[in-house]
Amino acid sequence: MTPSIYVHIPFCAGKCPYCSFPVVIGQEQREEDYLCALEREAAQAAPHMKMPVQSVYVGGGTPSLLSHDGIKRLSAMILRHFLVDKCESTMELNPESVTPDKAALLRSNGFTRMSFGVQSFHAKYLAYLGRQHTPEDGFRVFKVLRAAGFDNINVDLMFGFPGQTKHELDEDIDAVLSLGSEHVSLYALSVEPRSVFCVRGEKISDDMQGEFYSRVCERLNQAGVLQYEVSNFARSGFESVHNLNYWQGGEYLGLGMGAHSHVAGERFWNADIFPKYLDMIRDRAVAVVGREKLSAPRKMMEVFLFGLRMNAGVDMDVLERRFGCGLESDKVNELENLIEAGFLIEDEARVRVTDKGRLVLDEISARLI
């Protein structure tokens, strides 16, 4: 399997209260320091990744806050250190920080795919989420990206806001479909540990979430934006190469503050505190603060659970050949119970999650891990 590269850009204009990602607020003037650190980290790590990579993903944070010079430097750094010819190359954007010039610059600097966080087309829910953009920005930026030549665009859509009605959900789905994006990533609002919502004890009812989730799946599928993973939908041929690599247990190198990697059977992760990351890179050119090596059965189970997230399911024969072992006997029993209860289905050697199972995938994973 060829590896992927992830680059984390931690800058954000403000902290959204539902967010638990490693970010820094109001530090954009440190862009130069951060890009120097990324360059140093990439130079140190790149010799271990000499094969062509299948995807690059620049996430955050808000990568679209980078200056024009910053985007050029980042792009040159990736090209200098990694074999990225013709690979899928994605950047995450927030609508308020995208201009026609910036979109054109991203296109001319090798990015092939844009992913932007619309979340909702209702101003009251954008305000609740602490987003800095308006519903109109979502429509505007989509046109700007198309005009810049991007023919592979993902839109993030969120649902499950307190008080959200089915009619409002349908309006958001209508708006997404009217854009005609190639890919949609769907998120149920949740209270994440380390988020502001968590700190202030926000309660989010999940009574409607299953029904709303089913509604979005049904409508996107009917419109030809087909579900291929529990939270991801694409027009045929536009499935995310980068995310498929994660879900298939492939290798990836993460660069930047808080980035995680999976290389040569080992997982490791970087410091997720901005000054600590910069100091460690300055002193040693690495910022790794934790490592773990999984046993073959544990790794197999992890890839199996990731595989259940995908509509294609898991080919058990392929999995067993890849890891040289089968599922442990207590897991096989649990699997049979889940199949009998209608949460999973087995046809020939493939195991897939059913529609009923998809609604409780976290519980299924907890029973199998």
Residues of this chain that interact with ligand SF4 (CB under 6 A) are 12, 15-16, 19, 21, 23, 60-62, 94
When computed from its CA atoms, the radius of gyration of the chain, rounded to whole angstroms, is: 21
Question: What is the C-alpha separation between 166 and 159, in angstroms, rounded?
Answer: 10
282: amino acid identity, one letter = R
Asked if 111 and 153 touch (Cβ cutoff 8 Å), the reply is no
Q: In angstroms, what is the minimal distance from the CB of 60 to ligand SF4?
A: 5
Interacting residues of 113 by C-beta distance below 8 A, sequence separation 6+: 88, 89, 90, 91, 150, 152, 153, 154, 240
Please list the residues that pair with 159 across neighbouring strands.
188
Q: In angstroms, what is the minimal distance from the CB of 130 to ligand SF4?
A: 7
Give the N- to C-terminal CA distance of the chain in Å, as an integer.
Answer: 25
Tell me whether residue 192 or residue 336 sits nearer to ligand SF4 (CB atom): 192
Interacting residues of 43 by C-beta distance below 8 A, sequence separation 6+: 81, 285
Residue from 78, 154, 153 nearest 109 by CA: 78
Q: In angstroms, what is the minimal distance from the CB of 329 to ligand SF4?
A: 42
Q: In angstroms, what is the minimal distance from the CB of 166 to ligand SF4?
A: 25
Q: In angstroms, what is the minimal distance from the CB of 192 to ligand SF4?
A: 10
Q: In angstroms, what is the minimal distance from the CB of 15 to ligand SF4?
A: 5
Please list the residues that pair with 25 across neighbouring strands.
12
Tell me whether residue 94 or residue 240 sits nearer to ligand SF4 (CB atom): 94
Tell me whether residue 36 or residue 196 sits nearer to ligand SF4 (CB atom): 196
Tell me whether residue 12 or residue 327 sits nearer to ligand SF4 (CB atom): 12
Question: What is the C-alpha separation between 190 and 220, in angstroms, rounded?
Answer: 22
Question: What is the C-alpha separation between 365 and 145, in angstroms, rounded?
Answer: 38
Per-residue burial over 297-324, b if 16 or more Cβ lie within 10 Å, else e, is: eebbbebbbbbbbbeebbebeebeebbe
Q: In angstroms, what is the minimal distance from the CB of 242 to ligand SF4?
A: 17
Tell me whether residue 126 or residue 359 sits nearer to ligand SF4 (CB atom): 126
Question: What is the C-alpha separation between 126 and 118, in angstroms, rounded?
Answer: 9
Paired tokens of 367:
């029973």
Q: In angstroms, what is the minimal distance from the CB of 22 to ligand SF4?
A: 9
Q: In angstroms, what is the minimal distance from the CB of 31 to ligand SF4?
A: 15
Tell me whether residue 62 or residue 90 sits nearer to ligand SF4 (CB atom): 62
Tell me whether residue 12 or residue 173 sits nearer to ligand SF4 (CB atom): 12
Tell me whether residue 113 or residue 299 sits nearer to ligand SF4 (CB atom): 113
Residue from 213, 142, 209, 143 nearest 173 by CA: 213
Q: In angstroms, what is the minimal distance from the CB of 117 to ligand SF4?
A: 6
Q: Is the peptide bond before 342 cis (omega within 30 degrees of 0)?
A: no
61: amino acid identity, one letter = G
Tell me whether residue 94 or residue 152 sits nearer to ligand SF4 (CB atom): 94
Question: What is the C-alpha separation between 253 and 260, in angstroms, rounded?
Answer: 7
10 Å Cβ neighbour count for 62? 22
Please list the residues that pair with 185 across neighbouring strands.
156, 232
Tell me whether residue 25 or residue 318 sits nearer to ligand SF4 (CB atom): 25
Paired tokens of 356:
């009923």
